[in-house]
Amino acid sequence: MILGQFDPLKGERLQIMNEEGVIVKPELMPELSVETLLTIYKTMKFSRIIDEKTLQYQRQGRMLTYAPNLGQEATQVASVAASRQTDWIAPSFRELGVWLYRGAPLDKIFLYWFGNELGMKMPEEVRILPISVPIASQMQHATGLAYASRYKGLDDIAIAYVGDGGTSQGDFHEALNFAAVQDLPNVFIIQNNQFAISTRRMLQTRAETLAQKAIAYGIPGIQVDGNDVFAVYAATSEAVERARSGKGPTLIEAYTYRMGAHTTSDDPTVYRQEEEVKEWAAKDPIMRLKKYLIAQGHWDEAQDAAYEEERGKYVKTVFEAVEKTGLMPLEDIFDFVYAERTPILESQYRHKKAFYEKEVK
Ligand SMILES: Cc1ncc(C[n+]2csc(CCOP(=O)(O)OP(=O)(O)O)c2C)c(N)n1
Ligand SMILES: [Mg+2]
């Protein structure tokens, strides 16, 4: 058992593979087939390729806004890999690795960032809720899903992803308390990427770790190295198993780093030093897993280059097709809130329409 072995109050953090891709805790190594491990690696790399290309498209004025995931790939992919396809996911907005691993179509993801909400209408077999921009609101959705699953006598669990900033929202407390009291089949994963836009983690809470917040709810909490796929997978597997067998929710804090900007409208050089980013680049989760896979003889540089080239071309093709669909009509912003526009909405609409006709067309 990993849960319970690492005390967040003592600053203990689970790490199984170190920064060099070396296994330092073989006794805690989770069981993972080579095939699954390669799927995890490829998904992480695919996520990175999409991020890098999308940032370029945005800078070329071809994409609206975008929230990159650089650095958080292990946290996202290894955690979802520990769940079943039928388990529910309640994401925030920065979970590209989760969408990709579950098989969300890339054109849909691009469509969303292109301003089209229909991009979040996932195929039935992809049990991921739409992006939840109001911070931490998805926590409640996850408890609802878990409650419904148990009510129906199913053993599907629900995973919620939330940021370090999200832990300061009331929704975080309500969801954890409710799930704990009701013994709900939930797993709550905090992606502690050290920032909430420009607000550093240390300004978010006086608590030494985010994982220790679990203690107040009477549930297990663990901090893991979020850039170590094995640590993330091992802890999430146990948490998923606990939830599925009726033992209740778990809180996991994945300690990672947002290597890119908050979104494309943010400039992180204003609030953090290049040195810090470099330090974290040396802990890159993709590089780490790649070293391990190559050392084990499961992967090589030629395969890596070929995969990168093939995926790069694929991303370009998908993006160019989505780009052709054009921007959404202005009316869409106003037409889905009320059956009829209120006088204030109507006046805002006229104002915006005049602006668009003058400035945009
Ligand atoms: C309720 C609410 N307040 C403020 C915002 C504006 N906002 C968007 S992202 C963000 C920071 C979130 O930080 P964190 O939870 O750490 O997630 P991250 O962006 O690091 O993934 C804020 C304050 C929002 N979307 N919703
Ligand atoms: Mg954050």
Mean pLDDT score across all residues of the chain: 96
Protein residue whose Cα sits closest to atom 17 of ligand 1: 163
C-alpha 190, offset from chain centre? 9
C-alpha 58, offset from chain centre? 20
Q: What is the rounded average pLDDT of the residues 11-29?
A: 98
Per-position b or e across 9-23, b if 16+ CB within 10 A of its CB: eeeebbbbbebebeb
Q: What residues pair up with 159 in beta bridges, in sequence order?
A: 89, 187
pLDDT category of residue 326 using cuts at 50, 70 and 90? confident
Q: What is the rounded average pLDDT of the residues 258-271?
A: 96
* Known catalytic residue at 258: yes
Q: What are the pLDDT digits (tens) for 182-216?
A: 999 999 999 999 999 999 999 999 999 999 999 99
Q: What are the pLDDT digits (tens) for 90-106?
A: 999 999 999 999 999 99
Residue 167 Cα: closest atom of ligand 1: 15
Share of the chain above pLDDT 70, in %: 100
Q: Provide the 8-state DSSP code for 243.
A: H
Q: What is the Å distance from ligand 2's center to 166 Cα?
A: 8
* Known catalytic residue at 271: yes
Domains and CATH numbers, the chain: 8-328 (3.40.50.970), 329-361 (no CATH)
Q: What are the pLDDT digits (tens) for 125-152?
A: 999 999 999 999 999 999 999 999 999 9
On whether the pTM is more than 0.85, the answer is yes
d(CA 139, CA 174): 8
Q: What residues pair up with 222 in beta bridges, in sequence order?
A: 252
Handedness of CA 272, 165, 255, 83 (dihedral sign): negative
pLDDT category of residue 337 using cuts at 50, 70 and 90? confident
- What angle in degrees, to the nearest 10, is found between the helix axes of 34-59 and 229-244? 110
Residue with tokens 């929710």: 249
Q: What is the pLDDT of residue 361?
A: 59
* Known catalytic residue at 351: no
Give the range among 41-50, 110-119, 181-190 with minimum mean pLDDT.
110-119
Q: What are the pLDDT digits (tens) for 243-255?
A: 999 999 999 999 9
Q: What is the pLDDT of residue 335?
A: 86
Pairing type for strands 195-196 and 199-200 reads antiparallel
pLDDT at 176 over 90: yes
Closest CA to 165 of 143, 142, 139, 131: 139
User: Residue 90: what residue type?
Assistant: A
DSSP for 98-128 reads HHHHHT--HHHHHHHHTT-GGGG---TT--B
Q: What is the Å distance from ligand 2's center to 93 Cα?
A: 11
C-alpha 282, offset from chain centre? 21
What token pair was written down for 269? 């050089």
Pocket test for ligand 1, best of 65, 96, 193, 197 (most atoms within 8 A of CB): 197
Q: What are the pLDDT digits (tens) for 56-69?
A: 999 999 998 999 99
